[in-house]
C-alpha cells in the first residue's frame, strides 16, 4: 500500500513542482520627473496594468501603461511629451522583469528590468524595490533610473535650454495573487 | 525486485511526464510566442524599424521572461486602439511641435524690438521728442508688429489633436493673447495717428493719446504670456 502511495506521489511530483501562480496589478502610480533650470515638472499616470505568471519557481511580470495617460497638469507639456517620445507611434510603455518566486516575500528585491518605450528597448539591472506585504496584497515601490538618452529621445527645450537627461520614474504598485 | 520495478516505472513515468509537458509547452507556445512578440511590439506596422540593436526580451537579459510563460500585452486587456500606433497622429504632433517651436523662437525674438520700441518712446513723444526719435520708434514698432504677426500665425495654425482639453499655464498664456492680440493691432493704428499729429506740429490729442497706455498694457500682457510658460508659479 505504501509503495502505491509512493508511486502516486512520484507521479504527481512534476505537477506540484510546476504549479503555476498568477499575480495581478491592482493599483499603480507611475511618476516621471523632468528637470529644467527654470522649473521642474512631474507627470503622473494611474493607468498601468500588469500581470505576473509564475512557473517553476520563476515569475514573469509584465507592466504596461499608455504614454498619453501621463498627466503633468499642463496639456501643452503633455502633448509635447507625447511628440518627443513618439507616443502616438509607440503608444505603450512596456516593462518586463523576471523574479524568483521566493524573492516576492523579501523586504527588498533587485530586479533586472527591460523597458520598451519610444520604439527603443532599455535594460536596467539590479533596480531596488521595496516590498511590503499586507494580507494578500504586496506593495512594491522603487525608482527606475531612466534617462532620455536610453530611449534616444531628443531633450525638449524651453527658451532654447534643454531639460536634463535624467527622467527618473517613481513606481508605486500594489499586486495581489490570483 | 517488485519494489525496484515499481520505482523504475515511477521514475520513468516522471521523466516521461516531464518531457511530454515541456514538449507540449514548446509546441503549443511556439506560434503563441511569436504572435506575442508581434503583439507586444506596439504598432509593428507603423514602426519605421526602430533603431534597435537589442534583440528580443528573452534573448539576452540574464533573467528575461521566458517566452513560454511570460504574459503578453493582450493579457492586460488594453483596447486594441490603445496599443496600436497611429502614424497620422504622430505626424500631426510633429507638425504641431515644429510650429510651436518656431512660435517660441519668434516670440523671444519679438521681445527685442518690442522692448526697444518701449525705450525709444522717450524720444518719440513729449517735449524732448524729435523726428528722428519718432522714426526710430516707428521702425522698431513696425518690426515688433510684423514679427508679432508671424509669431501669432504659428501659434494659431499649429494643429491640435482632437479631444485635447487645455489645462495648466498654457490657459493663461492663451488668455493673454486676447489682450495683447487686439493691443498689437490697436497700438500701431494709434501710433500712426499720433505720429501724424506730431509731424503736423500738433499736440497729440483725441484717441491717439491712448497710444502709450494701450502699448503699455499690450507689452505687459505679452510679457506675462511669455513668463507664464517659462516659469512655474
Tens of pLDDT along B135-151?
Answer: 999 999 999 999 999 99
Best residue in A16, A69, A91, A150 for a mutation probing chain B (most B CBs within 10 Å): A91
**Cβ–Cβ of B51/A86 closer than 8 Å?**
no
**Cβ–Cβ of B78/A75 closer than 8 Å?**
no
Best residue in B10, B29, B48 for a mutation probing chain A (most A CBs within 10 Å): B10
Q: Are A30 and A171 in contact (CB under 8 A)?
A: yes
Kindly list the residues from chain B whose CB atom is less than 8 angstroms away from the CB atom of residue A82. 93
Nearest Cβ partner of A66 from B62, B82, B164?
B82
**Cβ–Cβ of B65/A121 closer than 8 Å?**
no
Q: Are B147 and B109 in contact (CB under 8 A)?
A: yes
Report the pLDDT value the prediction gives residue A7, as an integer from 0 to 100: 52
Q: Which of B72, B171, B210 is nearest to A94 (CA)?
A: B72
How far is the C-alpha of B57 from the C-alpha of B62, rounded, in Å?
10
What integer is the mean pLDDT of B188-211? 92
Q: Would you call B115 helix, strand, or coil by DSSP? A: helix
Residue A175: pLDDT band by 50, 70, 90 thresholds?
Answer: very high
**Cβ–Cβ of B71/A62 closer than 8 Å?**
yes
Cβ burial B104-130 (10 Å sphere, 16+ → b, else e): bebbeebbebbebbbebbebbbeeebe
Report the pLDDT value the prediction gives residue B128, as an integer from 0 to 100: 73
What integer is the mean pLDDT of B53-78? 60
The nearest alpha carbon in chain B to A62 belongs to B71
**Cβ–Cβ of A58/B66 closer than 8 Å?**
yes
Report the pLDDT value the prediction gives residue A117, as an integer from 0 to 100: 96
Q: Give the count of beta carbons closer than 10 Å to the beta carbon of residue B28.
A: 11
Share of chain B above pLDDT 90, in %: 50
Taking the CA of residue A172 and the nearest CA in chain B, the distance in Å comes to: 18
For residue B57, pLDDT over 60 is answered with no
Kindly list the residues from chain B whose CB atom is less than 8 angstroms away from the CB atom of residue A120. 50-52
- Locate the DSSP E strands across B66-203: none
Residue, of B17 and B2, whose pLDDT is higher: B2
For residue B35, pLDDT over 70 is answered with no
Predicted-complex ipTM score: 0.81
Of all residues in chain A, what percent are helix, strand and coil, respectively (each to 5)? 20, 55, 25
Best residue in A119, A156, A157 for a mutation probing chain B (most B CBs within 10 Å): A119
The nearest alpha carbon in chain A to B164 belongs to A75
Kindly list the residues from chain A whose CB atom is less than 8 angstroms away from the CB atom of residue B62. 112
Report the pLDDT value the prediction gives residue B65, as an integer from 0 to 100: 47
3-state secondary structure A100-114: EHHHHHCCEEEEEEE
Please measure the distance between the N-terminal and C-terminal CA atoms of chain B and give it in whole angstroms: 87
Taking the CA of residue B52 and the nearest CA in chain A, the distance in Å comes to: 6
Q: Which of A79, A78, A72 is nearest to A41 (CA)?
A: A72
Taking the CA of residue A156 and the nearest CA in chain B, the distance in Å comes to: 10
Q: Would you call B31 helix, strand, or coil by DSSP? A: helix
Kindly list the residues from chain A whose CB atom is less than 8 angstroms away from the CB atom of residue B41. 116
B36-48 residue pLDDT tens: 333 333 333 333 3
How far is the C-alpha of B30 from the C-alpha of A40, rounded, in Å?
47
Kindly list the residues from chain B whose CB atom is less than 8 angstroms away from the CB atom of residue A87. 90, 93
Nearest Cβ partner of B96 from A83, A98, A159?
A83
CA–chain centroid gap for A118, Å, is 15
Amino acid at each position: 500500500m505504501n509503495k502505491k502511495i509512493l508511486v502516486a506521489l512520484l507521479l504527481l511530483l512534476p505537477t506540484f513542482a510546476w504549479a503555476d501562480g498568477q499575480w495581478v496589478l491592482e493599483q499603480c502610480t507611475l511618476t516621471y520627473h523632468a528637470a529644467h533650470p527654470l522649473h521642474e515638472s512631474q507627470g503622473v499616470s494611474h493607468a498601468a496594468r500588469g500581470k505576473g505568471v509564475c512557473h517553476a519557481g520563476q515569475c514573469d511580470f509584465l507592466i504596461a501603461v499608455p504614454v498619453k495617460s501621463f498627466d503633468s497638469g499642463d496639456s501643452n507639456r503633455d502633448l509635447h511629451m507625447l511628440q518627443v517620445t513618439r507616443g502616438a507611434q509607440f503608444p505603450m510603455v512596456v516593462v518586463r522583469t523576471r523574479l524568483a518566486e521566493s524573492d516576492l516575500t523579501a523586504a527588498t528585491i533587485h530586479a533586472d528590468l527591460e523597458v520598451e518605450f519610444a520604439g527603443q528597448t532599455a535594460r536596467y539591472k539590479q533596480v531596488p524595490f521595496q516590498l511590503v506585504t499586507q494580507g494578500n496584497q504586496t506593495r512594491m515601490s522603487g525608482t527606475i533610473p531612466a534617462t532620455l538618452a536610453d530611449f534616444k529621445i531628443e531633450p525638449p527645450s524651453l527658451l532654447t535650454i534643454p531639460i536634463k537627461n535624467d527622467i527618473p520614474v517613481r513606481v508605486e504598485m500594489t499586486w495581489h495573487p490570483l | 525486485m517488485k519494489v525496484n520495478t515499481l520505482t523504475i516505472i515511477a521514475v520513468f513515468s516522471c521523466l516521461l511526464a516531464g518531457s511530454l509537458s515541456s514538449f507540449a509547452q514548446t509546441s503549443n507556445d511556439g506560434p503563441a510566442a511569436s504572435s506575442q512578440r508581434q503583439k507586444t511590439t506596439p504598432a509593428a506596422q507603423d514602426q519605421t524599424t526602430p533603431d534597435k540593436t537589442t534583440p528580443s526580451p528573452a534573448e539576452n537579459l540574464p533573467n528575461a521572461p521566458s517566452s513560454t510563460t511570460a504574459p503578453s500585452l493582450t493579457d492586460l486587456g488594453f483596447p486594441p486602439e490603445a496599443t496600436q500606433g497611429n502614424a497620422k497622429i504622430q505626424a500631426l504632433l510633429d507638425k504641431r511641435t515644429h510650429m510651436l517651436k518656431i512660435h517660441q523662437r519668434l516670440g523671444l525674438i519679438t521681445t527685442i524690438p518690442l522692448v526697444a520700441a518701449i525705450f525709444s518712446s522717450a524720444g518719440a513723444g513729449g517735449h524732448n521728442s524729435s523726428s528722428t526719435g519718432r522714426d526710430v520708434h516707428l521702425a522698431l514698432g513696425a518690426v515688433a508688429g510684423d514679427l508679432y504677426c508671424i509669431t501669432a500665425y504659428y501659434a494659431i495654425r499649429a494643429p491640435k489633436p482632437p479631444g485635447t482639453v487645455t489645462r495648466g499655464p498654457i490657459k493663461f498664456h492663451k488668455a493673454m493673447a486676447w489682450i495683447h492680440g487686439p493691443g498689437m493691432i490697436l497700438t500701431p493704428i494709434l501710433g500712426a495717428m499720433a505720429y501724424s499729429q506730431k509731424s503736423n506740429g500738433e499736440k497729440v490729442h483725441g484717441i491717439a493719446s491712448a497710444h502709450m497706455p494701450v502699448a503699455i498694457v499690450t507689452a505687459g500682457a505679452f510679457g506675462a504670456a511669455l513668463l507664464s510658460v517659462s516659469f512655474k508659479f
